[in-house]
Structure 1
């Protein structure tokens, strides 16, 4: 789990794990603000090496669980960085009563984030409660599960799962996300608002970062919401 630079003041790291025999990965994104403070999106499993690498970048000030699906390791990070403020979607506190310092994510970026990040909740998919962000300086969109693409040389179990979910051949809205979407028009409105942002790169929560023709690729991937 090594930190990799994507752009100035923007890094990511991946955690490999197994769920019911399916090999998978999850991604953490780290944003360093102009004042040296760090904003961590979807923290992955904490190791001494990763903790040291992140600490070397600046002061860990905010930990963000971006959805009701991505929160497993935030408690460990909170213990390691007790001064950091922890945010997550509304409803996560019922699922994780152990996260006693958890604060609900607001509708828009906090004032102390707003110069660095745009923020938008994706409505109509309450089981996920996902919010998305745009790193302004690099025009990088940070997603979790709204769009997925399990590409490349991955284990057979991962290929089978990706094919079942419809996210193996190209970026797409997974069949799971389609199934849990309860208000498609509301989700469509959120997606349309997000796609108005200037997007040069897309960080997906699993496996892939879109670097080439990212916005056009994302528009095609999310076209299910328009149907």
Structure 2
């Protein structure tokens, strides 16, 4: 099977100061070597000064530098390492080894999945319940974040709102392909095949949204559409204007509008084919 990440990700990594408190780390990522999704980790400095890392990517020299810069030179400043769903966990072990005092956070089922693969790190918080009470971590984290475990999502998605900067951080709840930023330093490695076009058509956030909404309605939310709708409505009630996805470009300024376009049927609790 072709590798998910480049063999040498460092020169292909884009470090971006999204806000004074948030740095994104974007790089190439593909499935089967045939679909270019891109990958993105998000580093957040809490109001306490501690750092939270969402969707960890390879811990290369540029990433270490970004961590130290956001932490003000404190290499031990990473306090939370977070897998926002059961797929975005591949480098948790490396980050836990580098920052042994960090708390590990992830969704229900991920500790068991990792244990079967021989990865036995203990998780400090496991998200398993939708609604406000299901997203509690500790006083320091809860002060800055709202959390929603998205009911019915096949990847057991957990969405996070960083309240100080009005930024929604999520993994696979919504994409924003194509992955322009993530392949900006490796343009020759990006694929442009039929699978790329098909997946972009069902995950778009602007233009004609019919196929995106159908994909969300019939595929993503089918296991528990009522619960999924409630989770989406709770997220819609959060105050955000920017959305950071793991796959595709960050939606700055108009993130809430794009979110509402993607999830219109779920917000209305009815499809409009």
TM-score (norm 1): 0.89
* Residue correspondence of structure 1 range 96-175 to structure 2 within 5 A: 96-97=114-115, 98-106=119-127, 107-110=134-137, 111-125=139-153, 127-151=154-178, 155-157=190-192, 160-164=195-199, 166-168=202-204, 170=206, 172=212, 175=215
Distance 1:198-1:117 versus aligned 2 partners, 3 A rule: same
* Larger strand percent: 1
Question: Rg larger in 1 or in 2?
Answer: 2
Cα distance in 2 between the residues matched to 1:158 and 1:176: 23
The aligned residue for residue 206 of structure 1 is 247
- Contact 2:42 / 2:53 at 8 angstroms: preserved in 1? yes
TM-score (norm 2): 0.75
Higher relative contact order (CA 8 A, sep 6+): 2
* Residue correspondence of structure 1 range 15-164 to structure 2 within 5 A: 15-21=27-33, 22-58=35-71, 59-97=77-115, 98-106=119-127, 107-110=134-137, 111-125=139-153, 127-151=154-178, 155-157=190-192, 160-164=195-199
Q: Gaps spanning 5+ residues in structure 2: where?
A: 1-12, 72-76, 128-133, 184-189
The structural deviation recorded for 1:223 is: 2.0
SS at match of 2:195: helix
SS at match of 2:141: coil
Alpha-carbon displacement from aligned partner over 1:32-57 (angstroms, at most 9, x marks no partner) = 01221101111111112212321332
Q: Gaps spanning 5+ residues in structure 1: where?
A: none
Runs of 4+ displaced beyond 6 Å: none
The aligned residue for residue 179 of structure 1 is 219
* Larger helix percent: 2
Distance 1:198-1:43 versus aligned 2 partners, 3 A rule: same
SS at match of 1:102: coil
CA RMSD of aligned residues (A): 2.3
